[in-house]
Amino acid sequence: MALSWNSDMIPNLNSFNPIPSTSPLDALHPHSKYCEYVLSFSEIARAFMRFVLKGSPILPRLRLEELKVERGKFLDSQTLKGSEADIVYTIPLEYDNGEEQTVLVYTLLEHKSTNDYNAIRQLARYYTHLLFMDDKKDQGNSQTETDELSVKTVPKPSKQLPLVIPVLFHHGAEPYTGPKELKEFFPQVEGFERFIINFEPIVVDLTKIDLKDLPNEPNEKVFNFVMTVIKLVFQEERFEDVETCFLEIFPEIKKQPEYLDLARTSIQYFWTASHTDHNRFLNLVANHYPQEKEGGENTVLSLLEKSHLEGREEGRQEGREEGRQEGREEGREEGFLIKGRSNIINALKARFQDVPDSIKTCINSIQDVVVLDALLIEAILCKSLEEFKQKL
């Protein structure tokens, strides 16, 4: 049953302005940027690791309160240029004798709507890189021993290799069905088992996790919220869950000052990337988080409402006109494209007056409605035409 709420039921709800002060989202890669953004919050990262390692003997040994986000720090940018792990944590690990070692947690965020068959190999590549990262540096620090017959070089005693917890985090329209261990990539030939290097990371497939199984403790509400948003963004038929998320959990999150930007970014992300009916989500947000003015300009929400509700209807009309000649479905899609491009150009004109022909030409060449929807967000949020141009 759909929930019915009155904004007066929640104190200060109407004071919420859904504009991220600095948006971390990338118009063309909203899933990856949102996941990286939310998992960079220490509290969310700690809750994520508790959830991932639930029941594991490793968990009690980890000092999660000292978790640090170390994105990219342990990777050689030349060796792994263009294919860095999405996010890396360092966590102190305690031994029984009281000694301590740092554990690296490499999290590969698989956020495509289809499976990445080679995701496990990519994680294995990061891991292998760690094993040999210091070799060149150590080659210059070897010790030399001299005897009567020869001079020979004796390497320093090898230090221990780093402990790593590799995590593949998948969310999308379909479950992850790719290999879960490195050995699955090799031919299965009897007798070769001992020669095959195996690698078995933790696979967290959000598509297979029920929302009721997410932690619901007060100190993990934020983690519950962002995981729900990430899961529901691909599930258009689950609008009652969307209502629960944004009317029950969301108000608790946005009341905490340190999470205001996260709350605003979550609305922006859901609008940009969701498969849910945009009209329903827009009405949900508009009814409970009223439009406001900021700096004399309309909020993101009001601009989206105007462009979406009017633009989609005009797009349908134009689609029907063209559909009489070339086919209803094809005409409707073309109508959406025409209006989507027009919305972006009009938004840029409203903010910056003159829009260069080069930008207009680039916008008018786009043939993907989803890309146009994402670029509309950028047109509203960008600080300059030059910044917008970089997103094209």
> Which pLDDT tens digit goes with each residue over 86-133?
788 889 988 877 778 888 887 777 655 567 888 899 888 888 887 776
pLDDT at 42: 92
User: CA nearest 162: which of 101, 94, 75?
Assistant: 101
Asked if residue 60 is part of any domain, the answer here is: yes
CA distance 187 to 193: 10
Q: Are residues 271 and 320 located together in one domain of the fold?
A: no
Q: Are residues 208 and 327 located together in one domain of the fold?
A: no
pLDDT at 328: 47
Asked if residue 2 is part of any domain, the answer here is: no
pLDDT at 208: 92
pLDDT at 296: 39
Amino acid at 344: I
Asked if residue 1 is part of any domain, the answer here is: no
Amino acid at 130: L
pLDDT at 294: 45
- Say if residue 49's pLDDT is above 50: yes
pLDDT band per the 50, 70, 90 thresholds, residue 65: very high
pLDDT at 391: 80
CA distance 204 to 243: 25
- Say if residue 209's pLDDT is above 80: yes
pLDDT tens figures, 306-352: 444 444 444 444 444 444 444 445 555 677 788 788 888 888 887 78
More confident residue, 16 or 179: 179
pLDDT (average), residues 266-280: 80
- Say if residue 292's pLDDT is above 50: no
Asked if residue 144 is part of any domain, the answer here is: no
Which of the listed residues 244, 265, 288 is the one where a domain comes to its end? 288
Q: Are residues 300 and 264 located together in one domain of the fold?
A: no
Length of the chain: 392
Radius of gyration of the chain (CA): 25
**Helix (H) and strand (E) counts in the chain:** 14, 9
Phi, psi of 10 (to 5 degrees): -120, 120
- Say if residue 172's pLDDT is above 90: no
Q: Are residues 109 and 174 located together in one domain of the fold?
A: yes
For the chain, what percent of residues have pLDDT higher than 70? 69
| Weakest mean pLDDT among 28-32, 122-126, 262-266 | 28-32
Alpha-carbon distances of 136 from 76, 82, 131, 133, 140, rounded to whole Å: 12, 22, 12, 7, 7
More confident residue, 205 or 286: 205
Asked if residue 151 is part of any domain, the answer here is: no
Q: Are residues 125 and 251 located together in one domain of the fold?
A: yes
Cα within 13 Å of Cα(319), Cβ side: 18
| Weakest mean pLDDT among 70-74, 298-302, 352-356 | 298-302
Total domains present in the chain: 2
Q: Are 315 and 284 in contact (CB under 8 A)?
A: no
Q: What share of the chain is helix, strand, coil (3-state, %, to 5)?
A: 50, 10, 35
Give me the DSSP letters along 110-159. Answer: E--SS--TTHHHHHHHHHHHHHHTTHHHHHTT-EEEE-SS-EEEEPPPPP
- Say if residue 2's pLDDT is above 60: no
Classify the C-alpha dihedral 225-226-230-231 as positive or negative: negative
pLDDT at 31: 83
Which of the listed residues 234, 268, 288 is the one where a domain comes to its end? 288
pLDDT at 309: 44
Q: Are residues 168 and 256 located together in one domain of the fold?
A: yes
- Say if residue 227's pLDDT is above 90: yes
Which of the listed residues 258, 288, 318 is the one where a domain comes to its end? 288
Give me the domain span that covers residue 184: 8-132+158-288
- Say if residue 169's pLDDT is above 80: yes
Q: Are residues 387 and 301 located together in one domain of the fold?
A: yes
Q: Are residues 307 and 228 located together in one domain of the fold?
A: no
Q: Are residues 308 and 377 located together in one domain of the fold?
A: yes
Alpha-carbon distances of 294 from 2, 226, 355, rounded to whole Å: 32, 26, 23
Q: Are 101 and 95 in contact (CB under 8 A)?
A: yes
pLDDT (average), residues 218-243: 88
pLDDT at 223: 95
CA distance 196 to 15: 59
Asked if residue 3 is part of any domain, the answer here is: no
pLDDT at 326: 46
Q: Are residues 189 and 41 located together in one domain of the fold?
A: yes
Alpha-carbon distances of 79 from 84, 90, 104, 126, rounded to whole Å: 10, 21, 19, 10
For the chain, what percent of residues have pLDDT higher than 90? 19
Mean pLDDT over all residues of the chain? 74
Asked if residue 140 is part of any domain, the answer here is: no
More confident residue, 84 or 163: 163
Q: Are residues 263 and 373 located together in one domain of the fold?
A: no
pLDDT (average), residues 148-162: 55
pLDDT at 336: 74
pLDDT band per the 50, 70, 90 thresholds, residue 47: very high
- Say if residue 179's pLDDT is above 90: yes
Asked if residue 153 is part of any domain, the answer here is: no
Q: Are residues 274 and 301 located together in one domain of the fold?
A: no
Sequence-ordered strand ranges (E) for 62-136: 68-69, 87-94, 100-110
- Say if residue 76's pLDDT is above 60: no
